[in-house]
Amino acid sequence: MRENWSRASQTLEFTTDELTKMIAPILPKRKVVASFYAQGGLANTNIRLKLSDTQTPLMLRVFTRDPSQAEKEYQIYQRIKGLVPAPQVYFYSPTNPVSGHPYSIMQVVEGDRLETLVEGLDDSWSVEVGRSVGDALAAIHSVTFERAGFFDGQLNIAMPISLGADGFIGFAQSCVEQSIVQERLGIDFVHHLMTFVKSQSSEFDSWRSVACLTHADFGGSNILVRKQQDGWKVSAVLDWEFALSASPFMDFGNLLRKPLGSVYSFESSVYEGYTARGGSLPANWRKLSKLVDLTAWLDFLTRPTANERLIEDARAVILETIKENRSR
């Protein structure tokens, strides 16, 4: 679904001499001899570096979409170390000597992006990967906070949010009140949507649990998987710039969008892996996940950079969610 969406920020270009200058704080005697842009992300600049005198590559991550999120991501990597499969961060700086943006120098973790492996693979693969993804997600959600909200650079809650009905309605309302969303959806569509949102909002007040670390972009582009001796496993969860303290349903909603959510063996295996790791979900977890995911699609519609394909996808998902829940 993401393959035809536009980037949220421009990809930066650097010469090998400039890249060498950026790795100098930790590798002053090494030179960058080649570089390759990493695939998958739509926001920041990620460059795989080949260095002189070593076969071990590095990943350079430059924060261009929202530099204020860089320190938060660094702190999250420190918090989940040894708990969630993720690359090690060797160096972080709030500025760099070339473009000025915050950047990290990171371990390269080998694996395939989950989104590239969906089609043409059998049920046994879906079960193995699904269980490992569920296990990794339960590990993420085991990190809890006193309340829900957006983090500052030190993972304090800088802006609290509500996970109940009022928060669900309030966020949806804040999106549809924007003229750009009204133009993209139409006034009749907006009224139809908000009637649905209000009719379903009580579902959220039935869920009582502590707020947990939520990746908030937990999709196939940010999950690396690799075949090991005991089967397919998650090798790394990447790109934590959108993370916040919230509920599990945001990550499930993102993960189980089409096409992954259309593979029943994958969805059921994610649930098995999640609960086996100690994750707890209510009986209506799938419905709550789809409802929460509506807020993500509405957020997409507020972005000036959204292209026609993304707008069409958002409309289609919103209509499908309304239809599915009203038919029950």
For residue 154, what is the domain's CATH number? 3.90.1200.10
Same domain, 117 and 66: no
Q: What is the pLDDT of residue 206?
A: 82
Contact 219, 115 (CB under 8 A): yes
Kindly state whether residues 86 and 163 are assigned to the same domain.
no
Query: Using CA atoms, how far apart are residues 304 and 318, in angstroms rounded to an integer?
Result: 19
Radius of gyration of the chain (CA): 20
In a domain, 222, yes or no: yes
pLDDT value at position 41?
53
Is pLDDT larger for residue 108 or for residue 116?
Answer: 108
Question: The domain that contains 20 carries what CATH number?
Answer: 3.30.200.20
| Same domain assignment for residues 210 and 61 | no
Mean pLDDT lowest among 5-9, 43-47, 54-58, 312-316: 5-9
Does 49 map to a domain? yes
Q: Using CA atoms, how far apart are residues 216 and 254, in angstroms rounded to an integer?
A: 7
Read off the pLDDT of each residue in 264-282 and give the average, rounded to a whole number.
95
Residues 84 and 139 occupy one common structural domain: no
pLDDT of residue 121: 63
CA distance 31 to 8: 30
205 touches 165 (CB < 8 A): yes
When the pLDDT of each residue in the chain is averaged and rounded to a whole number, the result is 92
> Which candidate, 312, 163, 153, 316, places its Cα nearest to that of 247?
163
Do 86 and 231 have their domain in common?
A: no
Give me the domain span that covers residue 163. Answer: 113-326
Q: Lowest-confidence range among 7-21, 83-97, 168-182, 244-258? A: 7-21
Q: Please give the model's pTM, rounded to 2 decimal places.
A: 0.92
Assess whether 101 and 229 both reside in one domain: no
Domain boundary residue, one of 63, 80, 108 = 108
Q: Which of 325, 324, 305, 259 is nearest to 42 (CA)?
A: 305
- Residue predicted with more confidence, 79 or 123: 79
Residue 98: CA atoms inside 13 Å, Cβ hemisphere, count? Answer: 17
Residue 107 in this model has a pLDDT that exceeds 60 = yes
Q: DSSP string spanning 61-83?
A: EE--S-GGGHHHHHHHHHHTTTT
Asked if 146 and 79 sit in the same domain, the reply is: no
Q: How many domains does the chain have?
A: 2
- Whether residue 2 is predicted with pLDDT greater than 70 in this model: the reply is no
Out of 48, 73, 108, pick the residue that ends a domain. Answer: 108
Asked whether residue 2 is domain-assigned, the answer is no
pLDDT band at 7 (very low <50, low <70, confident <90, very high): very low
| pLDDT given for residue 144 in this prediction | 97
**Same domain assignment for residues 44 and 171:** no
Whether residues 68 and 82 share a domain: the answer is: yes
Supply the pLDDT for residue 4: 44
Domain identity same for 44 and 135: no
**pLDDT digit string (tens) for 195-229?**
999 999 999 888 878 899 999 999 999 999 999 88
| Per-residue confidence band for 42, with pLDDT thresholds at 50, 70 and 90 | low
Predicted confidence at residue 5, as pLDDT, reads: 37
What is the maximum alpha-carbon separation in the chain?
65
